Structure 1
Amino acid sequence: MLPADDADAFEWLAFEQSGVLTTPQATRLLTEGVVRGRIHSGRWRSICRGVLLTGNGRLTRDQQLWVAVLAAGPDAVLAGVTAAAEAGVRGLRHEPLHVLVPAARRAARTSLRRLPIDMPAVLVHRTTILPGAHRQLGRPPRTTTARALVDAAGWATGVDEAQGLLAAGCQQRRVLPQELDAVLDVLPRASRRQLIRQTAGDIAGGAHALSEIDFLRLCRQHRLPAPDLQEHRVDAAGRNRWLDAYWRKWRVQAEIDGAHHMDARQWAADMRRQNDVWTSGDRILRFPAWLVRARPDEVAETVRRALTAAGWTPPPPRPRQPR
């Protein structure tokens, strides 16, 4: 609820920060005695050293985000998956909260180690490069979606998680591959920089899902020709279709099936589409997404046989390196 027209500076600040203030903010607008009295009376909560809540209930999500930023100190911003989720990227973990602070400033680690039970853990990251173009105007402050995803990919526990984050942001149209590249241009020492650059290129080339990115990586590693991704075609009934991977020269198509393809109605639709492809003269291969990731050698050999049968000539084997 918006404050009344005659609200004072304190009421407006409390509104803008979801009722979470630093002690210096509160004492500057009120008095130290008033602030101490409201905490002792139970009207307000002391969240951690230097941060308080102008109420006594459990922390909401917005309040948790404000606590993370304010407890980390001046110039702190939400970052990584936390900032990306605030930008609207779906399917990301909500905990722990990620905060970015300037490397030259020491974060208030003591405060962050003594958070209440209704507050998730906060991970503080440091950076020497955080230009204004990487900051998103918002409350609480956060990095832009592109910077958030680049950071999140660098902080991820593995390659699959890193690529999945980038694919989710682009697939949901929250960021463009070119924006990821622009962030990398400013971060010469970004963690997993080469992987992020390659993944952004794959997405720009048409890979919309992590399974398609895995498939492209498989083709590169096994020296298979790169397919066109999300190739558009019109089926026999005049409906628009997009092929996951298509080698036009050899008329070979590969479909990467996610879990939704196990649904009975989807299965029937897939069979009709597959029959349409076969009757047009194309070869079609279908792989479940888990097989592409778990057994890439098996998938690559199947693709190799299909392309060879269609007229592709495999490259000569690499010469062995002398011992």
Structure 2
Amino acid sequence: MVETLKPPGCGERDAQLGTTRDAGPVEEEWRKKARSQEGLITRRQLRAAGVRAQAVAHRIATDRWQAHSPTVIATFTGALDEAQRLWLGVLHGGEGALVAGLHAAELGGLANWHRDEVVVLVPSGLRVPTPLDGYRFLRTTRDLGSLRSTELTPPCCRPIVAVLLWASEQDNIRTTRGVLAAVVQQRLTTADQLLRVLDGLGRLRHSAEMRRTLTEIAGGAQSVAELDVRRMCRQHGLAQPTRQVKRYDGDGRVRFTDCEWRLADGRVLVLEVDGAFHMEAQQWEDDLARQRALSGPDRVIVRCTARELRDGPTRLARDLRRLGVPRAA
């Protein structure tokens, strides 16, 4: 076999994968395969391309290649980027393995839900791969071919499927509800589409709660806080608020309020729900300025935290009733 790699110590992936003047057909075959997989290749793929085990060991020993798992080789030096980490997971997982979880959802556009751990689905007919730091390999009897995205690389679940499967695994039901609200709020799909896919997946943990959540989202709630407000009102007999109302502040800028109720005296009560990031000093000052700009003789603005809404809804509902929020019809 022709050895035509760059000198040891070269850390540029493109240079090591590029065609060389003396490259023969055997070497060009593995180069094409590695290039299609972000520079990663399995030992089995190398053998199929005619690369001998001794040649692989030599390139690793001379710091031209790296062994990132017992089965997967990087044909370059240096750290893996995010795309290469995903390729490492599916190649180590074996034939038919798919990136799942929130990494598959990120490939589909989901933002602000990143997790370091990469989840990989493995066909039940394969052995469970050897453990790999930063990865979780799950064997499944599901038909992974039917779950695979036809548009995204590396091989991964369709983002909607990945979100539903990940949501079903969570112990904290608020996390389950939060990710479902996020994919709809970010306009990656609709609640109705999620419900249809959920029905097609069969039995899943938390499926009943996910259906309730998606039904509420389809009715207009776009975030976990809005879902919590709706639930609080239903449990304590309060009228459901109008959500995300478009308002103009004192400077003429467009604002959207979280929840509003029309009171009996004609005034409007506004409830703003603050998440954890609202506790930061700059955000807190911005919120105070926003409240002043939205306030007026006919508008009362009150605030609560997301934690209070989650853990103390009875007290909040009592305060809202005292302020004049009407009871449900």
TM-score by length of 1: 0.80
Write out aligned runs for 1:223-262 (5 A): 223-234=237-248, 239-248=253-262, 251-258=268-275, 259-260=277-278, 262=283
Tell whether the 8 Å contact from 1:83 to 1:144 is kept in structure 2 after alignment: yes
Q: Distance in 1 between matches of 2:126 and 2:235?
A: 43
Of residues 173, 176, 184, the one that matches 1:170 is 184
With over 3 angstroms needed to count, the CA separation of the structure-2 counterparts of 1:58 and 1:285, relative to structure 1, is: closer
Q: Does the residue aligned with 1:135 lie in a helix, a strand or coil?
A: coil
- The percentage of counterpart residues that share the same residue type is 30
Q: Distance in 2 between matches of 1:131 and 1:228?
A: 43
Superposed displacement of residue 4, structure 1: 5.7
Q: Distance in 2 between matches of 1:203 and 1:62?
A: 32
Write out aligned runs for 1:122-271 (5 A): 122-130=136-144, 132=146, 135-234=149-248, 239-248=253-262, 251-258=268-275, 259-260=277-278, 262-271=283-292
Tell whether the 8 Å contact from 1:145 to 1:174 is kept in structure 2 after alignment: no
With over 3 angstroms needed to count, the CA separation of the structure-2 counterparts of 1:238 and 1:105, relative to structure 1, is: same
Corresponding letter in the other structure for 1:22: T
Of residues 62, 65, 71, the one that matches 1:50 is 71
Q: Please, which runs of 5 or more residues in structure 2 have no aligned partner?
A: 1-13
Tell whether the 8 Å contact from 1:134 to 1:147 is kept in structure 2 after alignment: no
Superposed displacement of residue 55, structure 1: 2.6
Q: Distance in 2 between matches of 1:220 and 1:131?
A: 42
Corresponding letter in the other structure for 2:49: L
- Give the match for residue 9 of structure 2: none
- Give the match for residue 296 of structure 1: 313
Corresponding letter in the other structure for 1:90: A
With over 3 angstroms needed to count, the CA separation of the structure-2 counterparts of 1:3 and 1:216, relative to structure 1, is: farther
With over 3 angstroms needed to count, the CA separation of the structure-2 counterparts of 1:298 and 1:198, relative to structure 1, is: same
Superposed displacement of residue 40, structure 1: 4.5
- Give the match for residue 85 of structure 1: 106
- Give the match for residue 106 of structure 1: 126
Superposed displacement of residue 290, structure 1: 2.2
Tell whether the 8 Å contact from 2:110 to 2:183 is kept in structure 1 after alignment: yes
1:95 aligns to 2:116 (yes or no): yes
Q: Distance in 1 between matches of 2:90 and 2:310?
A: 38
Tell whether the 8 Å contact from 1:66 to 1:140 is kept in structure 2 after alignment: yes
Q: Distance in 1 between matches of 2:143 and 2:44?
A: 28
Task: Please report the RMSD computed on the Cα atoms of aligned residues, expressed in angstroms.
Answer: 3.0
Q: Does the residue aligned with 1:48 lie in a helix, a strand or coil?
A: coil
With over 3 angstroms needed to count, the CA separation of the structure-2 counterparts of 1:25 and 1:56, relative to structure 1, is: same
With over 3 angstroms needed to count, the CA separation of the structure-2 counterparts of 1:131 and 1:26, relative to structure 1, is: closer
Q: Distance in 1 between matches of 2:178 and 2:230?
A: 14
Comparing 51-60 and 151-160, the one that deviates more: 51-60
Q: Distance in 1 between matches of 2:215 and 2:260?
A: 18
Corresponding letter in the other structure for 2:179: L
Q: Distance in 2 between matches of 1:5 and 1:88?
A: 37
Q: Please, which runs of 5 or more residues in structure 1 have no aligned partner?
A: 316-323
Q: Distance in 1 between matches of 2:83 and 2:213?
A: 32
Corresponding letter in the other structure for 2:95: P
Q: Does the residue aligned with 1:263 lie in a helix, a strand or coil?
A: helix
With over 3 angstroms needed to count, the CA separation of the structure-2 counterparts of 1:53 and 1:314, relative to structure 1, is: closer
Superposed displacement of residue 158, structure 1: 0.5
Q: Does the residue aligned with 1:100 lie in a helix, a strand or coil?
A: strand
Moved over 6 A (4+): none
The count of aligned residue pairs is 301
Superposed displacement of residue 231, structure 1: 2.8
With over 3 angstroms needed to count, the CA separation of the structure-2 counterparts of 1:73 and 1:41, relative to structure 1, is: same
Tell whether the 8 Å contact from 2:90 to 2:99 is kept in structure 1 after alignment: yes
Q: Distance in 1 between matches of 2:117 and 2:39?
A: 21
TM-score by length of 2: 0.79
